[in-house]
Amino acid sequence: MFDFDLGMVNWARAQFALTAMYHWLFVPLTIGISFLCAFFESLYVKTGNEEWKRITKFWMTLFGINFAIGVATGIILEFQFGTNWSNYSWIVGDIFGAPLAIEGIAAFFLEATFFAVMFFGWERVSKKQHLFATWMVAIGSNLSAWWILAANGWMQAPAGMKFNPESVRFEMENFAAVAFSKMAVSKFVHVTASSFIVASLFVVGVSCWFLLKKRHQVFARKSIMVAAVFGLISSLYTAFTGDESAYQVAQKQPMKLAAFEGLYNGEKSAGLVAAGVLDPSKSLEDQNDPFLFKVKIPGLLSLLSNRTPGTFVPGIYDLVYGNEAEGIESVESKMAKGKTALESLKVYKESKISGNLTLAESSLASFNENQKYMGHGHLSSPKDVVPPVGILFYSFHLMVALGSFFILFFAVAILLAYKDKLSSIRPFLWTGVASFFLGIISSEAGWVVAEVGRQPWAIQDMLPVTVAATNIGRGNVQATFFMFLIVFTILLVAEIMIMLKQISIGPQER
């Protein structure tokens, strides 16, 4: 087992969470507004109406501001794999690094190549050439998301690799299995669709502000109509992809599913908790009801989790202590096998050095037999596999509730825009302004569910974060944590100020 400073590990986790959540404030807008700009410009090229060109230029300016800040925060985020998580980079760098390298070399370069044409080529290239550049930036931003989410999806459900006992590293066997796994695909479509919602809420919110101030009203109504249609389609698609994403979680990460549903005891025909309040005093050691209040939809969780009604959905107790009737092995048993695997690997390496080939062969056989439990061998207690139930439960249900609200919101926006009543209903306009912030909250909650739900694993069931972390002093991580907190806050404030300044100026007059 590895020796580690748990305090340092927790600070490293906190630093990565800080940078990731700051970075994710900018990413959804980059992914979504790039497509909205392409839609607006397509309407301009098709109709020849200069108003659509004016609309495109305004939202393109806000996209550029956000893009610049997003790149800065993203670079800092990736640097942490070499500073705070060097063991992770060493053990799985050959696999994890491949999609990130492709993202930088191919997708980001594609985006950056056409970026200058999109911003500075209005009078230098033809309309169709400029439109092509705008679409390439939109496609490039989403290709970047694909490779990053493929890497993240591999961490959630590792595939396409093997462990090399000689180098003590995981090595790639099948690139397609890494890049195009079901988990990667489900994450990509769900995350990008939810990003489209955030961007649509941003466009609608800013446009509602213009209508409240009685400025640029034609501009605002046209922007709202396009963004609301895009937002409604994206909201419905997000709900659909969310179902597939939850199914993949149920199959690959059952503990995450049990945690965000507050399911301690597994059930057949398990019900889905639509709303509830957890008992904060609930612990793994007692059998008390985890809920103070709940509303359940009977049988729905079994159907969504296994695509078959009446099936068994394991709870936290089943996954920790085992359930022989359902063929679920206890964590304690996995830990014992994992420790055997680690000890066999150690003996194998030592016997190879000493020249005892007979012992090396038997140790390697023992390691191969228990290899899949190797990650559990680093755990100190079976309870380590349980993520924070309260954080996951409330984050998940908040995300779902807001997602349902967005469907209704966009539908109402389309109806009011169609009837030309947007300007006359001020409560809706204020709701539109506020809804963008609800979109950010929902988006961040989704990442909390994805990443906190995976704990304690850096790679699901294979590599705990305690082993993935760099063996450096706690003080170093603390210092950089607060440094990043200050820098990122300055960047966020700068973006907000620049955005507000640009919004207050408004679209250029013809």
Average pLDDT for residues 363-375, to the nearest whole number? 94
Residues 279 and 337 in one domain: yes
pLDDT > 70 fraction of the chain, expressed in percent and rounded:
98
Residues 372 and 415 in one domain: no
What domain count does the chain have? 2
Average pLDDT, the chain: 91
Name the one residue in this structure whose structure tokens are 């695909």. Answer: 185
pLDDT of residue 3: 53
Residues 477 and 446 in one domain: yes
Residues 295 and 315 in one domain: yes
Domain assignment of residue 292, yes or no: yes
Residues 247 and 371 in one domain: no
The residue out of 340, 368, 386 marking a domain boundary is: 386
Average pLDDT for residues 179-202, to the nearest whole number? 94
Average pLDDT for residues 31-50, to the nearest whole number? 95
Residues 382 and 397 in one domain: no
Average pLDDT for residues 350-368, to the nearest whole number? 92
Domain assignment of residue 225, yes or no: yes
DSSP secondary structure of 270-302: PPEEEEEEE-TT--TT----SEEEEEEETTHHH
Structure tokens at 399: 């995300």
Do residues 510 and 50 lie in contact, with contact meaning Cβ atoms separated by under 8 Å?
Answer: yes
- What is the Cα–Cα distance from 269 to 262, expressed in whole angstroms? 16
Q: What is the pLDDT of residues 373-427, one digit of tens each?
A: 999 999 999 999 999 999 999 999 999 999 999 999 999 999 999 998 988 899 9
What's the half-sphere exposure (Cβ side, CA atoms, 13 Å) at 186?
A: 22
Give the confidence band of 508 by pLDDT, cuts at 50, 70, 90.
Answer: confident
- What is the Cα–Cα distance from 223 to 59, expressed in whole angstroms? 9
CB neighbour class for 8 (10 Å; exposed up to 12, middle 13-18, buried from 19): buried
The residue out of 370, 386, 402 marking a domain boundary is: 386
Q: What are phi and psi of 504, to 5 degrees?
A: -65, -35
Domain assignment of residue 258, yes or no: no
Domain assignment of residue 510, yes or no: no
DSSP secondary structure of 194-211: HHHHHHHHHHHHHHHHHH
Q: Does the pLDDT at position 110 exceed 80? A: no
Residues 366 and 395 in one domain: no
Residues 97 and 229 in one domain: yes
Domain assignment of residue 378, yes or no: yes
Residues 61 and 152 in one domain: yes
Average pLDDT for residues 210-238, to the nearest whole number? 95
Average pLDDT for residues 45-56, to the nearest whole number? 94
The residue out of 386, 411, 429 marking a domain boundary is: 386
- What is the Cα–Cα distance from 473 to 495, expressed in whole angstroms? 33
Residues 353 and 220 in one domain: no
Give the confidence band of 1 by pLDDT, cuts at 50, 70, 90.
Answer: very low
Q: Does residue 456 have a cis peptide bond before it, meaning omega lies within 30 degrees of 0? A: yes
DSSP secondary structure of 118-131: HHH-TTTS-HHHHH
Domain assignment of residue 297, yes or no: yes
Q: Does the pLDDT at position 58 exceed 70? A: yes
Residue 441: domain span: 6-253+387-505
pLDDT of residue 509: 63
Domain assignment of residue 381, yes or no: yes
Give the confidence band of 78 by pLDDT, cuts at 50, 70, 90.
Answer: confident
Q: What is the pLDDT of residues 293-309, one digit of tens each?
A: 999 999 999 999 999 99
Average pLDDT for residues 84-101, to the nearest whole number? 88
pLDDT of residue 286: 86
* Alpha carbon distances (Å) from 427 to 216, 418, 422, 433: 19, 18, 10, 10
Residues 360 and 464 in one domain: no
pLDDT of residue 330: 96
37-46, 88-97, 318-327, 376-385: the lowest-pLDDT one: 88-97
Average pLDDT for residues 141-149, to the nearest whole number? 89
Give the confidence band of 68 by pLDDT, cuts at 50, 70, 90.
Answer: confident
Domain assignment of residue 259, yes or no: no
Average pLDDT for residues 242-267, to the nearest whole number? 94
Q: Which long-range contacts (CB under 8 A, 24 or more apart) does 62-66 make?
A: 62/33, 62/206, 62/499, 62/502, 62/503, 63/29, 63/30, 63/33, 63/34, 63/37, 64/119, 65/495, 65/498, 65/499, 65/502, 66/26, 66/29, 66/30, 66/33, 66/495, 66/499
pLDDT of residue 301: 94
Q: What is the pLDDT of residues 196-222, one digit of tens each?
A: 999 999 999 999 999 999 999 999 999
Residues 165 and 32 in one domain: yes
